[in-house]
Amino acid sequence: MNTHNDQVIDFIRSQFASSSASTSKYEGLCNAIKIAIEEDILLPGSTLPGERKLADLLDISRITVRNAIDELVRDGQLVRRHGARTSVSEKVRKQISNLVGFSEDIRSRGMTPGARLLSAESVEANEAERTRLKLAPGERVIRLHRVRLANDRPIALERAAIPHSVIKSPDAIGPSLYATLDALGMSPQRGFQKITAKIMDEVEAELLETKVGAPALVIERCCETASGVPIEYTLTCYNAEAFDFSNELQR
């Protein structure tokens, strides 16, 4: 057994032992594994100790262990694949209250961001872009259409529009749009976003390597500089099977 597996088992055993007397063994194990995931003791993609080992170490039945794992699989936190050990879901969780770009967000989660460019062009702004970016009729934008990647896995389709007054050519945009804006002294400082749900059509499903009708979350975002200059209007369609959103609430 390696050091990391020792740490995982010790942590789960400690959390399980601290469960309240009113909590069933099944609930106690569910909670212990959830906390291990939340505290990054169990990392995305890592494997869970085997059912027999967990049952022996925690002095509970394998049926209890299996029921707890089944519950976490249904909840999307664990993934069980035929012929392989149960592993932690690699779903990406995004904090929706932070104004960061895709690349920075993915990198902060220990993954490598990437993009597959579908198109990049200088075009006349459409009605939605004019409204959100406060442009006059006939003004142009740089419009990007990209597949966004996390560890080479496609998880989102992004359509971004930047005023031509901010960026003159698609060639001026690097792998990270926000890094490019930062370098120009036009860093996004505030904005709004709206989240809606949909199901994927055939084109979206093919690009995100999933099935037609899979659930998707669409974020419409508009950002501006500290002085109030609109600099980005983005529609991003996330694969809801690979990506979810969280927000810390306070009273």
Percent residues over pLDDT 70 in the chain: 87
Residue 82 is predicted with a pLDDT of 64
**Looking at beta carbons, which pairs linking 165-168 to residues 24 or more positions away fall under 8 Å?**
165/139, 166/229, 166/231, 167/142, 168/122, 168/142
* Global confidence as pTM: 0.60
Own/partner long-range contacts of 200-209 (Cβ < 8 Å, ≥24 apart): 200/237, 200/239, 204/157, 204/237, 207/118, 207/147, 207/154, 207/157, 208/147, 208/154, 208/155, 208/156, 208/157, 208/237, 208/239, 209/154
Regions of the chain where pLDDT drops below 50: 1-2, 96, 249
Task: Look at residue 247 in the predicted model and tell me its pLDDT.
Answer: 55
- Quick one: pLDDT at residue 218? 93
Nearest of 193, 202, 200, 201 to residue 239 by alpha carbon: 200
pLDDT, averaged across the chain? 84
Q: Are 202 and 171 in contact (CB under 8 A)?
A: no
> What pLDDT, on a 0 to 100 scale, did the predictor assign at position 244?
64
> In this structure, what are the phi and psi dihedrals at residue 147, rounded to the nearest 5 degrees?
-90, 125
Instruction: Give 198-222 pLDDT, tens digit per residue.
Output: 999 999 999 999 999 999 999 899 9
Helix, strand, coil tally for the chain in percent (to 5): 30, 30, 35
Predicted local confidence at residue 1, as pLDDT: 42
pLDDT single digits (tens) 164-199? 999 989 888 888 888 888 888 888 888 888 889 999
234 with 221: CB under 8 angstroms?
yes
pLDDT for 99: 62
Dmax (CA) of the chain:
72
